[in-house]
Amino acid sequence: MAKENLTVQRVQDFTCPPEQSQAFLWDTKSQGLALRVTRSGVKTYIFQSKIKGLGTDPRIAIGSPDTWKLPEAREQARLYKLMTDKGQDPREVEEAKRNAEATAKAEQARTNSRESLTLGDVWPTYLADRKPHWSDGHYNNHVNLSAEGGKDKKRGKGKTITGALYPLMKTRLSDLNSDCIAAWMEKEAETRATSAAQGFRILRAFIRWADDIDAYKGIIPKGSYSARKVRDATPAPEAKQGDSLQREQLQAWFAGVSGLTNQTRAAYLQALLLTGARRSELTELRWENVDFEWNTILIGDKIEGTRTIPLPPYLSILLYRLPRINEWVFASTQSESGHIEEPKDAHRKALIAAGLPHLTIHGLRRSFGTLAEWLDVPVGVVAQINGHKPSALAERHYRRRPIDMLRHWHTKIENWILEEAQVAWKPSN
């Protein structure tokens, strides 16, 4: 075994004897390092040494002298020697290192990909995942609040408005911190406080959902929606003053609604007032969910999925007399869905005919609760019928009432409203 102090010149001059397939020149300065040259003249620095405790002496290629300078080859050989003295196979150590680097690189790529995700990237996935659990109205509300706006309206003239959540759609999830949300909230609240507050509640639900999904868990900063600065920026809910029917307005309102040429819309508006249901809960009511035998209605509920409420006598007659055009109770032959979509125009005409001030569709839902107070109806009864979570403090303790008890109070509410409105009707036998 030829050994000598390797030099750059010696490495350059070393050749393989013609009678050999390869030759080695071992370095005296760095233990285990050698220069190998083949008959064809290919030169390679190699390392070879016994592994402590194993007895094997693997030969490991370091690299070509064209790539590796002699001091670099000696340093690599020294590192390999440290490994063999510790009982480690340098090949296994190198492979483990490469695997770790590949894993780290892949993880970094995954992190970079996650970090680049925007709210707009994930929003469609969120809507698709939650849509089966929502009513159509609740789903459409999410779509509208995140819409870009500026599109031609499907009904009526003009352009659609930009949704309150749209300004956040290009924001990366990793940047969706409390400062970002508070700044967005303050700006939106300047011109549309109600939409901003509603958008925040929807955004908060999205953040909770994202933190439960492995693909998005941990991207959005902790405390992004619960920080004090966000709470301070959230507009306080304010009840609309005057957006409910007064006791003395009932007679005029019923006269105006009953005078509508479209009796399906007239029945729909009366049903909103007499049940306190949300608009979409009734537009999406199917015949199969109306039980005329046991006088109940199963309607969609955006909080609990569904809820069963009583079908009081007068409303039962209204619904029973409606034409059964399709699966929907409040059917429409003009809308794509097959049911009433936009009742505002009909309600506006009824208000004008009755000489009453503007009243929103949601105001009819609010009216159900305020009018029920004239009868001292327990707040929990009203809440259970119209789908609100009752206040534990207001009721002292929360309880779910059976349908027959709800029917007792619901019938009282309906009878009182009809008496005040001087609506003449006879219960069916």
409 pLDDT above the threshold of 70: yes
pLDDT at 47: 95
Both 83 and 189 in one domain: the answer is no
Residues 337 and 190 in one domain: no
What tokens were used for 288? 């199969």
Is residue 396's pLDDT more than 60? no
State the DSSP code for 152: B
pTM for the whole structure: 0.52
Look up residue 64 and give its amino acid: S
The region of weakest confidence among 112-121, 182-191, 361-370 is 112-121
In a domain, 428, yes or no: no
| Any domain includes 238 | no
**What contacts 232, CB < 8 A, 6 or more positions away?**
182
Per-residue pLDDT for 339 more than 70?
yes
36 and 92 housed in the same domain: yes
355 has a pLDDT exceeding 90: yes
Task: Annotate 86-111 with DSSP letters as a single string.
Answer: TT--HHHHHHHHHHHHHHHHHHHHHH
Does residue 93 sit in the same domain as residue 51?
A: yes
State percent of the chain over pLDDT 70.
Answer: 92
Q: Could you tell me the pLDDT band of residue 146, with boundaries at 50, 70 and 90?
A: very high
Final residue in a domain of this structure, among 72, 95, 112: 112
Residues 313 and 288 both lie in one domain: yes
Q: What pLDDT is recorded for position 200?
A: 94
Residues 385 and 269 in one domain: yes
Query: Which residues on adjacent β-strands are paired with residue 43?
Result: 37
Query: Does an H or E element contain 251, and which?
Result: helix 250-258
pLDDT for the residue numbered 393: 43
Given 112, 138, 156, the domain boundary residue is: 112
- Whether residue 241 is contained in a domain is answered as no
Residue of higher predicted confidence among 132 and 256? 256
Domain encompassing residue 31: 3-112
Same domain, 174 and 309: no
Yes or no: say if 322 and 264 are a contact pair by the CB < 8 Å rule.
yes
Q: Is 159 helix (H, G, I), strand (E, B) or coil?
A: strand
- Could you tell me if residue 365 is inside a domain? yes
Query: Do 252 and 188 belong to one domain?
Result: no
CATH number at residue 317: 1.10.443.10
Residue 374's alpha-carbon distances to 101, 368, 370, 371, in angstroms, are: 74, 11, 8, 6
Q: Are strands 43-48 and 33-38 parallel, antiparallel or unpaired?
A: antiparallel
Are 409 and 288 in a shared domain? yes
The arrangement of strands across the sheet holding 59-63 comes to 3-4, 22-27, 33-38, 43-48, 59-63
Q: What does the pLDDT read at residue 400?
A: 76
Distance CA 33, CA 11 (A): 12
Q: Round to whole Å and give the CA distance between 11 and 221.
A: 58
* Average pLDDT of span 320-329: 95
Domain count, the chain: 3
Using DSSP, state whether 13 is helix, strand or coil. Answer: helix
Residue 141 CB-half CA count within 13 A: 18
Q: Closest Cα to residue 417, out of 291, 271, 295, 285?
A: 271
Residue 240 domain-assigned?
no
**Which residue in this structure is represented by tokens 């403090």?**
393
Give per-residue pLDDT as tens, 40-70: 999 999 999 999 888 788 899 999 999 999 9
pLDDT over threshold 60, residue 397: no
Contact 406, 283 (CB under 8 A): no
d(CA 139, CA 387): 17
Report strand pairing: 3-4 vs 22-27. parallel
Give domain status of residue 429, yes or no: no
What is the C-alpha separation between 128 and 344, in angstroms, rounded? 29
Please report, for the domain that includes residue 53, its CATH number.
Answer: 3.30.160.390
Would you say residue 222 has pLDDT above 80? yes
Q: Is residue 200 part of a domain?
A: yes
Is 256 found in the same domain as 184?
no
Domain-located, residue 286: yes
95 lies in the same domain as 130: no
CA 187/CA 196 separation, integer angstroms = 9
Q: What is the overall mean pLDDT for the chain?
A: 89
Q: pLDDT tier at 301 (50, 70, 90 boundaries)?
A: confident
Long-range CB contacts (within 8 A, 24+) of 211-218: 215/114, 216/114, 216/117, 216/122, 216/173
Q: Which of 85, 112, 139 is the last residue of a domain?
A: 112
| Residue whose C-alpha is closest to residue 184's, from 173, 174, 197 | 197
In this structure, how many other beta carbons lie within 10 angstroms of the beta carbon of residue 196?
22
Q: Are both 216 and 271 inside the same structural domain? A: no
Q: Confidence class of residue 83 from pLDDT cuts 50, 70 and 90?
A: very high
pLDDT in tens, 271-289: 999 999 999 899 999 999 9
- Residue partners of 57: CB distance under 8 A and separation at least 6: 48, 49, 50, 51
Helices (H) and strands (E) in the chain, counts: 17, 8
Q: Is the pLDDT of residue 392 over 50?
A: no
